[in-house]
């Protein structure tokens, strides 16, 4: 079972479906995965998220679910690939370099939450409440 991984489009569809399962009119928004075009995600983790979304929508006052995907490491490091193409589509050169940034940590997404229920695994618990 540990080898099972879900395709990115299926993950996005399952999150939408989970949010709309109890009430199809529920608005579901997913932020943070926009620039990932192809990926495989751990299926068991996705299952937990689906159940959590359904649990949230069990509250009849909930009309919208927002899922924020926040990188665990806020000191993001990318490899930049600057590529030069000719008119006929040949990539003549690719120059690699480092690109480093700092992004808001997960706490930024908790400011307006009335209740925070931290179910992350012990090694991933970051927030001091």
Partner 1 sequence: MKLKYRLLPIGGIDGAMPLNWVFIDRKDIANAALTEYEAVKVIAEEFKDSAAAVDILDTDCVSVSSDGIMNPIAVTAIASVDHGMINNTYGYMPLSPIPEYEGIYEDEPHMRQWHLPQFKGKELHKGPNAKDRGGERLSHNETMTLTGRIANNNCGSEAFDLVNMTEILIFMSAANEIMRDGEVIVKVAGPEVSVGIGMVVSERWGRIFGGTNLGGYKAGMSAHNSGVYAKTVKSDYPAVAAPKEKFMALMLDALDTGLIVGRHLGSSPALLMTAYYYGAPIDLEHISDRAWIELESIGITKELLSKPVKPYTREEMIAHAEEIIPGMKDAKRYKVSEIVEIREAEVKRETIA
- Closer CB to partner 1, residue 38 or residue 102? 102
Measure the CA–CA gap between 97 and 80, rounded to whole angstroms: 5
Please give the span between the terminal C-alpha atoms of the chain, in angstroms, as a whole number: 34
Residue 115 interacts with partner 1 (CB under 8 A): yes or no: no
Nearer to partner 1, 87 or 95 (CB): 95
For partner 1, which residue of 104, 114, 115, 117 counts as binding (CB under 8 A)? 104
Q: Which stretch binds partner 1 (CB under 8 A): 47-55, 58-66, 83-91, 104-112?
A: 104-112
Of 13-21, 57-65, 80-88, 118-126, the segment contacting partner 1 by CB under 8 A is 118-126
C-alpha to C-alpha distance for 1 and 91, rounded to whole angstroms: 40
The answer to whether residue 122 forms part of the interface with partner 1 (CB under 8 A) is no
Q: At its nearest, how many Å lie between partner 1 and the CB of residue 61?
A: 23
Secondary structure (DSSP) of 64-114: EEEEE---S-SS-EEEEEEEEE-TTS-EEEEEEEEEE-----GGGGTTT-S
Q: Which stretch binds partner 1 (CB under 8 A): 24-32, 35-43, 50-58, 101-109?
A: 101-109
């Amino acid at each position: 079972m540990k080898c099972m991984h879900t395709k990115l489009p299926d993950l996005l569809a399952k999150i939408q479906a989970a949010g709309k399962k109890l009430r199809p009119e529920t608005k579901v928004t997913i932020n943070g995965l926009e620039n990932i075009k192809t990926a495989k995600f751990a299926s068991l983790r996705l299952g937990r998220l689906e159940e959590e979304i359904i649990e949230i929508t069990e509250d009849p006052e909930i009309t919208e679910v927002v899922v924020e995907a926040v990188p665990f490491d806020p000191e993001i490091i990318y490899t930049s690939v600057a590529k030069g193409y000719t008119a006929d589509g040949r990539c003549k050169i690719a120059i690699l370099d480092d690109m480093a940034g700092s992004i808001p940590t997960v706490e930024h997404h908790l400011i307006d939450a009335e209740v925070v229920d931290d179910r992350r695994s012990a090694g991933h618990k970051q927030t001091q409440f």
